[in-house]
Amino acid sequence: MAGRATPRLADLLTLSVQTRRDAEATRRALHRRDRGLVADYEDEPTDGPTGDRRRLLAWTRRVQNGQVRQRLHAGWWTALTLGAVAAVFLGVGAALAVFRYDGTRPINVLAVLVVFVALPLVTAAVSALGMLGVLPRLWPGSLPGLGGAVVSAVASKLPGAASETAEALRGELRRGGKVLGRAGVWAGWSVSQVLALMFVGSGWVTFMALLATSDLAFGWASTFEVDPEKLRSGLLSLLWFAPGVVPDAQTVELTISERAVPFTELYQADPDAFKSWWRPLSWLIVAYGIAPRLLLAAWSVLRMRRAVTTAFDRHPAGQDVLRRMKTPLVEAGGPNGDAAQTDAGQTDKPFVDQTDLETLETTETKTSETWSVIRWSAAPTPGVADDAEVRDAGGGCTLEQDQATLHDTAAAGRPVRVYVKGWEPPLAEFTDLLISLRDQLGDGVLTEVAVVRRGETDHAAASVWARKLSAIGDPWLRVVAATEPNRTDAAAEGTP
């Protein structure tokens, strides 16, 4: 069942929104749901990046009967339509203002050039420089980082639990910005260029409509001293591709509106001279107001689609969905014949996964071919095969050994699971190492911190670690709970 393999912005946002909605569902319930949503893809050749993308696209269109994606898609186009209506309204209003003509004074050519040529051209140049990375980027895609900085500053002034809550919010803002990546940036650029195009385009259409329905007369005047010959030379330079539409020197001199002779007398003497300005004005608006925006809009839309595809392929929620789709579901019968719930019915959280990892580790980390494993401070590694490669860090390891572990792990290019002792608090030394590891791995590589618990009912350990690590704000970082099998609390306490 092959399908389109090009995600849209609504598909990317569906992954983020549905992840939050799934916060209260158990891992088994999500596994059962996601396996069923793409059951008709089982026999399709969907291996590789393109195949995985098709699976995820099918998932975004089927989860919750497609209602989440439909609402996001409709919301995006509604917002874009409202923005376009506002831009058209402003464009028409500006055109009616600058092309206002009551027969007593001519339309000022210089005012038209400022509003519909100079201003659009300057802002288009600034936009182009911003897209190329020459200027600092201040658009919607940078708001998560800005918001995170504000929240962090406020958090430092708050006491106790309030400060902890604010730091968690900062982490969420940072995670949101990293997940969207350049997609949010280019979405902001594409919207701004389309709306700017609508403004100038509606102004030009209004100009053409006024020309078709009334006689317009043009002149020019400025509070600055402008030489008529220099004005004409400038117009010839701008309209190098159509020099024939530029008025001659006599017309430019005649249509100066600030004269002792009343305008009406000058107009009656040579009305064609005052009417001839519409041609160069029309060409200038099209060439320097509309054309640059049209090119920038097309470029930004293409870049947005490419960025959306990249973010969609690397979305951490998408990686979770794919893993559930590809992993066979094993139903463990409970006393009433129902599927057994892991962890005494505990539910998964967006950042804390309280599920016992014994089954997960049996299928995914028994060998070193799928996951890279790091053992922090000689922590137990439940579920990891005896012949699997386990790299050590922390504890008795030197700084050089820690750096070598990070380098070798990042070079492997696989998802990473770091085992830590749940009965020990998270230290700044571990946080620094984890941040360095994430920097070397880069975005899109899943990293799990497996908090080894003393027993299956010890849910506090992973929660403490999760609250500490959530401030890092990395969407590809999560905390999971692991229980070392066949170990007593005393044995766990004495783990070397």
pTM of the predicted structure, to 2 decimals: 0.69
Instruction: With H, G, I as helix, E, B as strand and everything else as coil, classify residue 20.
Output: helix
Report d(CA 232, CA 371) in Å as an integer. 71
The first and second tokens of residue 493, run together, are 């306490």
Cβ contact 49:351 at 8 Å:
no
pLDDT tens-digit profile of 219-266?
888 777 788 899 999 999 999 999 999 999 998 888 887 665 777 888
Q: Dihedral angle at the C-alpha atoms of 232, 235, 239, 240, nearest 10 degrees?
A: 60
The first and second tokens of residue 160, run together, are 């106790």
Instruction: With H, G, I as helix, E, B as strand and everything else as coil, classify residue 383.
Output: coil
Percent of the chain with pLDDT over 90: 23
pLDDT of residue 163: 55
pLDDT tens-digit profile of 187-216?
888 999 999 999 999 999 999 999 999 989
Report d(CA 393, CA 399) in Å as an integer. 9
Q: Which is more confident, 452 or 471? A: 452
Q: What are phi and psi of 354, to 5 degrees?
A: -85, 0
What string of DSSP letters covers 285-337? HIIIIIHHHHHHHHHHHHHHHHHHHHHHHH-HHHHHHHHHHHSPP---B-TTS
**Angle in degrees, CA 335, 329, 345, rounded to 5:** 45
Contacts 24+ apart (CB under 8 A), 63-70: 63/14, 63/18, 63/33, 63/34, 63/37, 64/18, 64/21, 68/14, 68/17, 68/18, 68/21, 69/10, 69/11, 69/14
Cβ contact 461:356 at 8 Å:
no
Residue whose tokens read 């020309």: 211
pLDDT tens-digit profile of 295-311?
999 999 999 999 888 88
pLDDT tens-digit profile of 444-462?
788 888 888 776 555 566 6
Domains of the chain: 69-135+186-314 (no CATH), 346-496 (3.40.50)
